[in-house]
Amino acid sequence: MARTLSAPVTVAFDYTRSTGPVLGRFLTGLRDGVVVGARTSSGTVVVPPPEYDPVTHEQTTDFVEVSSVGTVTSWSWVPEPVKGQPLDRPFAFALVTLDGADTPMLHAVDVDSATDMSTGMRVQVRWAADRVGAMTDIEAFVPLREDPPAAASTVGTEEATPITGVITPVSLDYVYAASPEESAFYRGLAEGRIVGQRCPACRKVYVPPRSACPSDGQPTSEEVELSHEGTVTTFCVVNVPFLGQKITPPYVSAYVLLDGADIAFLHLILDIPADEVRMGMRVKAVWKPEDEWGTTIENISHFSPTGDPDADYETYKNHL
Amino acid sequence: MAKQPAAVIGIGQTHHRAKREDVSMAGLCREAMDRALADAGMTLDEIDAIVVGKAPDLFEGVMMPELFLAEALGAAGKPLLRVHTAGSVGGSTAIVASSLVQAGVHKKVLTVAYEKQSESNAMWALSVPIPFNMPVHAGAGGYFAPHVRSYIRRAGAPNHIGAIVAAKDRNNALKNPYAHLHNEGTTVESVMASQMLWDPIRYDETCPSSDGACALVIASEDVAAASPNPAWIHGTVMRSEATSGAERDQVNPQASRDAAAALWKQAGITNPIDEIDMAEIYVPFSWFEPMWLESLGFAEPGDGWRLTESGATALDGRIPVNCSGGVLSSNPIGASGMLRFGEAALQVRGLAGEHQVDGARRALGHAYGGGSQFFAMWVVGSEKPGS
Amino acid sequence: MRDVAVVGFAQRQMKEFDGSPTCVELLVPLFAECYEQTGWTRKDVGFWCSGSSDYLAGRSFSFVQAVDAIGVTPPVNESHVEMDLAWAMYEAWIKIQTGEVDTALVYAFGKSSAGVLRRTLALQLEPYTMTPLWPDTVSLAGLQARAGIDAVLWDETAMAEVVNRSLGDAEKNEYAVRKGGSSVEELLARPMYADPLRKHDCAPVTDGAAAIVLAAGDRARDVRDKPAWISGLAHSVDPMSMGTRDLTRSPSAAAAAAGASVGGVEVAELHAPFSHQELVLRRELGLADDVAINPSGGPLSGNPMFSAGGIRIGEAARKIWSGEATRTLGHATSGPALQQNLVCTMEGRA
């Protein structure tokens, strides 16, 4: 058995980027099948255009259309492409100086093998069929053919508006691991137990246990099995829906201080109208059916009022 | 060894909006930077070092964005630092920038903090579910609402105090051309009537989500001598504690109390309410005004709400708080702390325009972050410290 | 300027850390080692500063929980940079220079293996025209390596010599995750991976953490007989664009070296995650042929993200403590193709 529990997590969002005038001009060009660079104060034509001049620091304004044919000035073979790259089979990343430009741009070159690549080789843009005003409007570069490169399809008038924004999907896959102490807690939950740990220095009982007691910097160690009943110290009623939310609002998110623990943890309160939940309310864990249990705190479906009298404020005021 | 004197001689900020679709990230930063440089009468080439601050990278989906921004910010060929201390980051960044001058290492430091929240969704970025955990998290509002409830219970505060703060700050924002929200006619009643989002926090008691940036030029004593109105730095402090320690006081955290005590001592202040002329305090949810008033020592524990209720924190009150409209009126998260620090400096320079406090000579800039465990504060004054 | 020295250093490097991305459980023993080296407790530390990355961990505020490892009752004077340990150390050095504190403990951590590192780092690029292509770290380094090969500034043999020396030296480094001397011929006989790079030209994906202790004046002398006194500390950054930079050069590395006065160093620990980058750095830093490079094995033997740069400073400091050298340097880099660089020179004093 691994020391720790782990599970996959995907962090994904389609970012909505506003481009500003300079990058907007470049991306508008790509949509229209034209590569646009800019002349800097020192006279060099740079692609993509820098937003601000490297010398004067003024915003770039002198745009220049360059060729879609150019020369490879450096390249690197990609034997195992990763998700999101321009091609899903081996290809080259290359720096390509387009005719009319003085500096190279970074993009992919679509060839079958590294032996087809060389510094100095001539390449041309292969445009995407549907262009939206993004770097991926250039699918890749390909070796220059004898016949002149196919012109990009012309732009309809309905597309004449300049690009001011671009959507950039970002999706990263991770494996999240719980700490060894948390893993012990989650494994306990899989057995229907709530296991905290006591800090060897300050003697406080933490649930979940901690790799370092925040007061002393020492790992909690001595296991303490906790009651399934506790006190609501404080709470809020979540009425607001948001992206990625797992529970349908409105719901009560409450700090529950289990009997025997020295720290409250967040959970859900149900079986009572939200406006009747109180600070000091006594609650008990309601577990899901055992066949649905895993190594997660979601084994506890929610907390429910015990019906006992509320705890005295003095008993939990140091936990606010 | 004493710190070298340092002063703010240039302040710039963007027009904060929900979506600044007219600018890129670089354009947003440069809008604030160019204003700060113009204020300081300086060019980018004269700057020795640049310090960038920003909240989590997930907000814009760029890892360490200062690297791609380096050239646009004029940092190429210079030292470039990137600070990230949660919501306090704007304040921490200004403190790191000042320390470069106070250490005697640089004479002219430019610092910029920004957030372009419209590139994603902060609620999403702050609530990415963690495996095995209960998915009850609901962004910053969901985090702070239970602690606001604790404050109300502990202080015995009436329910409408938060609405007083919100109405005051929203009306102050009408005097600030850079503020994001310009909600005419906000009253205590209209705030109380707004939707309950994270009970006990109402819609009008929460900060907006903004795109924006703030920049400061911080200079050494000899450079500041040429400035007609430097804001001298009288004290800076940063303090941190744990997010979730057993029996941690989440309403009035020890790190906040410790930070305030250290700050007042540095600045030679014994009675803050009498010796500080105005304060820009990080109040993303209205109730944090009375909470921080107590923690900072402007009021006794339990009495912060009374100070607010009395009108003392209004623009013409005894201790005006958030004359700019505060975080409740503009919240580009990474920049929000620096805006507090910058607005405090504007006040002691006499440059706050319509929201100027008459004769402000010493002001507090304050920021906090995370789950109220990170604090950054400074005191600025119109006179050189010790003079 | 105040005299400030590196007086403590601890590290962990491993292929795959079996623990949480906040690395709290890695940091606790590191801090214990620092206390043992210095004879301090946490209350002797005047300032704390950490370096880490949310995108490495895959969640916002990943550094927040790491603060627990300190034990923060009472609260501490603390900061964080979204940068390598070396820059966290720079912030702490500045803090000591202001006179506000006399001591600092800086740390950094990163679980590179939580995601696909070479893909995660594509998020570090210009987000409008670069990241949408997801250029991976290895490819960008390959473009730089070929630029030097084409310009006849180095060749595959010179790169293999760097690797051979590094992996040989790494045999003496208990933390190295890749080690084992071979020969230049044998290395060159291995297959190309990302032409022009072979796998051994690229630093291994490494998890880990590290901590460095700084102290001023007498506080440093109290800790060690031979503190590693910081004689120069400087950093600089270049534009990111791969098109407008001369990839065979690193002006920011040269600027950092000039700022930190590298003359006379006997040992240089260089943060070169790709073999050819050591060749770029030796030129930019102006290191003579008799300077010992990366006696620890260097980043080609282990490159824990966000601590590997600081580890170079720690390794260079150890040479002063032991008396093996009287003047050393540690170098750190960040960003694609040596975009940002820091140099710290240290010396022993009689």
- Whole-number pLDDT of residue A172: 96
Average pLDDT over residues A151-168: 75
> Which residue from A13, A18, A54 is facing B23, i.e. has the nearest CB?
A18
pLDDT band at C350 (very low <50, low <70, confident <90, very high): confident
B199, C55, C59, C239 from A172: Cα distances, Å: 34, 9, 11, 26
Q: Percentage helix, strand, coil, to 5, in chain B? A: 35, 20, 45
Residue percentage of chain C with pLDDT more than 70: 100
Q: Is residue C260 part of a domain?
A: yes
> Which residue from B26, B123, B242 is facing A242, i.e. has the nearest CB?
B123
- Whole-number pLDDT of residue B271: 97
Which other chains touch chain C, taking contact as 3+ CB pairs less than 8 Å apart? A, B
Residue of A nearest to B133 (CA): A297
> Which residue from C114, C150, C197 is facing A74, i.e. has the nearest CB?
C150
Residue B34 pLDDT exceeds 80: yes
Return the number of other C-beta atoms located less than 10 Å from residue A274's C-beta. 17
pLDDT band at B136 (very low <50, low <70, confident <90, very high): low
Q: Which of C189, C223, C257 is at the close of a domain?
A: C223
Q: What is the pLDDT of residues A12-22, one digit of tens each?
A: 999 999 999 99
Beta bridge partners of C197: C194
Beta bridge partners of A282: A231
Q: How distant is the Cα of B288 from the closest Cα of chain C, in angstroms?
A: 21
Q: What is the pLDDT of residues C231-281, one digit of tens each?
A: 999 999 999 999 999 999 999 999 999 999 999 999 999 999 999 999 999
Rounded distance between C-alpha atoms, residue C17 and residue C92, angstroms:
27
Q: What is the pLDDT of residues B60-76, one digit of tens each?
A: 999 999 999 999 999 99
> Do residues C291 and C266 both lie within one domain?
yes
- Report CB contact under 8 Å: C94, B96: yes
Residue C78 pLDDT exceeds 90: yes
- Whole-number pLDDT of residue A204: 96
| Mutation target among B29, B63, B100, B373 for the C interface, most CBs of C within 10 A | B63
- Whole-number pLDDT of residue B370: 86
Q: What is the pLDDT of residues C298-330, one digit of tens each?
A: 999 999 999 999 999 999 999 999 999 999 999
Q: Note whether C127 contacts B: Cβ–Cβ < 8 A.
A: yes
> Which residue from B131, B136, B249 is facing A247, i.e. has the nearest CB?
B136
A12, C20, C57 from B131: Cα distances, Å: 15, 12, 14
Residue A159 pLDDT exceeds 70: no
Q: Note whether B353 contacts A: Cβ–Cβ < 8 A.
A: no
From the list C70, C7, A257, A117, the residue with the least C-alpha distance to B246 is: A257
Q: Which domain holds residue C259?
A: 133-204+231-347
- Whole-number pLDDT of residue A152: 63
DSSP type of residue A309: P
Q: How distant is the Cα of A288 from the closest Cα of chain C, in angstroms?
A: 27
Residue percentage of chain A with pLDDT more than 90: 89
pLDDT band at B127 (very low <50, low <70, confident <90, very high): confident
Give the CATH fold of the B6-118+209-224 domain. Peroxisomal Thiolase; Chain A, domain 1 (3.40.47)
Q: Domain total for chain C?
A: 2
- Report CB contact under 8 Å: A211, C129: no
- Report CB contact under 8 Å: C78, B239: yes
Length of chain B: 387
> Do residues C187 and C269 both lie within one domain?
yes
Q: What is the pLDDT of residues A302-315, one digit of tens each?
A: 999 999 999 999 99
Torsion sign over Cα A248, A252, A257, A262? positive
- Whole-number pLDDT of residue A154: 57
Average pLDDT over residues A171-186: 94
Q: Note whether B127 contacts A: Cβ–Cβ < 8 A.
A: yes
- Whole-number pLDDT of residue B126: 77
Q: Is residue C289 part of a domain?
A: yes
> Which residue from B19, B74, B248 is facing A57, i.e. has the nearest CB?
B74
Contacts of B54 in chain C (CB under 8 A): 82
From the list B1, A120, B248, A272, the residue with the least C-alpha distance to C216 is: B1
Under a CB-based contact definition with an 8 Å cutoff, are residues C101 and C91 in contact?
no
List Cβ neighbours of A276 (8 Å cut-off, separation of 6 or more).
none
Q: What is the pLDDT of residues C8-39, one digit of tens each?
A: 999 999 999 999 999 999 999 999 999 999 99
Domain ranges of chain A: 16-171, 179-319
Q: Is residue C127 part of a domain?
A: no
Residue of C nearest to A22 (CA): C128
Residue percentage of chain B with pLDDT more than 90: 91
Q: Which amino acid is at B127?
A: S
Cα–chain center distance at C229: 18
Q: What is the pLDDT of residues A250-271, one digit of tens each?
A: 899 999 999 999 999 999 999 9
Instruction: List the single range of A198-202, A239-243, B46-50, B332-336 with lowest mean pLDDT.
Output: A239-243
pLDDT band at B124 (very low <50, low <70, confident <90, very high): confident
From the list B258, B236, B261, the residue with the least C-alpha distance to B103 is: B236
Q: How distant is the Cα of A101 from the closest Cα of chain C, in angstroms?
A: 11
Mean pLDDT of chain A: 93
Under a CB-based contact definition with an 8 Å cutoff, are residues C11 and B114 in contact?
no
Q: Is residue C310 part of a domain?
A: yes
> Which residue from A16, A237, A263 is facing B119, i.e. has the nearest CB?
A16
Under a CB-based contact definition with an 8 Å cutoff, are residues A320 and B244 in contact?
no
Contacts of A166 in chain C (CB under 8 A): 128, 132
Q: Is residue C236 part of a domain?
A: yes
Length of chain A: 320
Range 150-169 of A in CB contact (< 8 A) with B: 164-165, 168
- Whole-number pLDDT of residue A166: 96
- Report CB contact under 8 Å: B96, C83: no
Rounded distance between C-alpha atoms, residue C253 and residue C338, angstroms:
8
- Report CB contact under 8 Å: A234, B72: no
> Which residue from B61, B103, B374 is facing C123, i.e. has the nearest CB?
B61
Cα–chain center distance at C99: 27
Domain ranges of chain B: 6-118+209-224
> Do residues C142 and C249 both lie within one domain?
yes
- Whole-number pLDDT of residue B133: 78
Q: Which amino acid is at C177?
A: V
Contacts of C305 in chain A (CB under 8 A): none
Residue of B nearest to C342 (CA): B79
From the list B70, B50, B58, the residue with the least C-alpha distance to B126 is: B58
- Report CB contact under 8 Å: A214, B245: yes
- Whole-number pLDDT of residue B125: 80
Query: At C19, which CATH number?
Result: 3.40.47.10
